[in-house]
């Protein structure tokens, strides 16, 4: 079932996956911060319009 992948190819793939994972984690963190800011802004403006 497992195919033979040369060691260098496997290491390169693992390295590129680590780089991609780090980039996705940074993006995820930034998006969570954006959502938090938008929630706070929504609460602020909801309070102001009452």
For 22-45, the pLDDT digits (tens) are: 999 999 999 999 999 999 999 999
In sequence order, which residues have a C-beta less than 8 Å from that of residue 13 and are 6 or more positions away?
A: 5
Measure Cα distances from 26 to 4, 16, 21, 29 in Å.
33, 15, 9, 5
pTM of the model: 0.69
User: What's the pLDDT at 7?
Assistant: 77
The larger pLDDT score, comparing residue 10 to residue 35, is at: 35
Between CA 41 and CA 49 the distance in angstroms is 12
Between CA 46 and CA 50 the distance in angstroms is 7
Between CA 15 and CA 36 the distance in angstroms is 32
């Amino acid at each position: 079932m497992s195919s033979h992948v040369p060691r260098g190819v496997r290491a390169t793939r693992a390295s590129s996956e680590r780089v991609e994972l780090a980039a996705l984690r940074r993006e995820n963190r930034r998006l969570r911060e954006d959502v938090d800011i938008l929630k706070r802004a929504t609460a602020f403006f909801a309070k102001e319009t009452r």
